[in-house]
């Protein structure tokens, strides 16, 4: 039987993974509205293959349907704050994963040596602060923002190995798979929430 403390810790890890993935994907979603895509220049080394395309329009008439009953679809035009090239956008988005890659193995070793709870606390608290500083960094300099995203990736890189080390040392063997599965379900929960929000 699962202890109530284990259930509570499983819930904390569940929501920890929700926050982890929300912080991981937040910029990937927000950058679409943050950056003006009309100003980007074509790559000078790109060669175009010109071809002729024919399009055919199939129309349907509905004589009994008044025009005011069919609303016109209009896209809202949003004003983007940043004018970054596609290459710079890619570097900023990729900076997170560069940092994320660096501390995977060291995060597991640190969790074994000093304890997973301390590693998670010492890594995720700065990640939260850096995430709050991200808008200021983006407005200051895109390369400074890239460094901030890399540091966020560094902090989040220890979460998986620390969670594994935590459950390996703390959960009873017969309940370990259930507790790990529940805590990792937070990853899929955030994707479900994003889909419901239409993002």
C-alpha separations of 19 from 22, 26, 46, 108, 146 in Å: 5, 10, 40, 20, 20
> What would the two tokens of residue 165 be?
């080390």
- Output the pLDDT for position 64: 66
- Rama region for 198: left / alpha / beta (φ>0; ψ in -120 to 50; rest): left
* pLDDT tens-digit map of 98-111: 999 999 999 999 99
- The DSSP code for 68 is G
- Output the pLDDT for position 40: 46
Tokens 């998670």 locate to 120
- Output the pLDDT for position 84: 92
Tokens 């060669």 locate to 47
* pLDDT tens-digit map of 9-19: 889 889 989 98
CATH homologous superfamily of 4-36+81-197 equals MFS general substrate transporter like domains (1.20.1250.20)
What residue ranges do the domains of the chain occupy? 4-36+81-197
pTM for this prediction: 0.74
Q: Block means of pLDDT (10 residues each) for the chain, length 199 residues?
A: 79 89 87 76 55 62 63 65 92 94 93 92 91 94 96 93 90 88 89 79
């Amino acid at each position: 039987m699962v202890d109530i403390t284990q259930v509570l810790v499983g819930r904390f890890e569940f929501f920890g993974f929700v926050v982890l993935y929300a912080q991981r994907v937040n910029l990937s979603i927000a950058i679409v509205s943050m950056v003006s895509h009309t100003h980007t220049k074509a790559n000078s080394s790109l060669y175009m293959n010109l071809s002729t395309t024919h399009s055919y329009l199939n129309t349907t008439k509905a004589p009994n349907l008044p025009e005011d009953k069919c609303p016109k679809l209009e896209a809202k035009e949003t004003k983007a704050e940043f004018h970054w090239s596609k290459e710079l956008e890619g570097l900023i988005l990729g900076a997170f994963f560069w940092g994320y890659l660096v501390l995977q193995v060291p995060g597991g070793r640190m969790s074994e040596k000093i304890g997973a709870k301390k590693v998670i606390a010492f890594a995720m608290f700065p990640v939260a602060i850096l995430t709050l500083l991200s808008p200021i960094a983006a407005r200051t300099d895109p390369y400074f923002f890239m460094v901030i995203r890399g540091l966020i990736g560094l902090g989040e890189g220890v979460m998986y190995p620390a969670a594994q080390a935590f459950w390996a040392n703390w959960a009873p063997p017969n309940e370990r798979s259930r507790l790990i599965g529940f805590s990792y379900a937070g990853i899929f929960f955030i994707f479900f929430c994003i889909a419901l929000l239409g993002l």
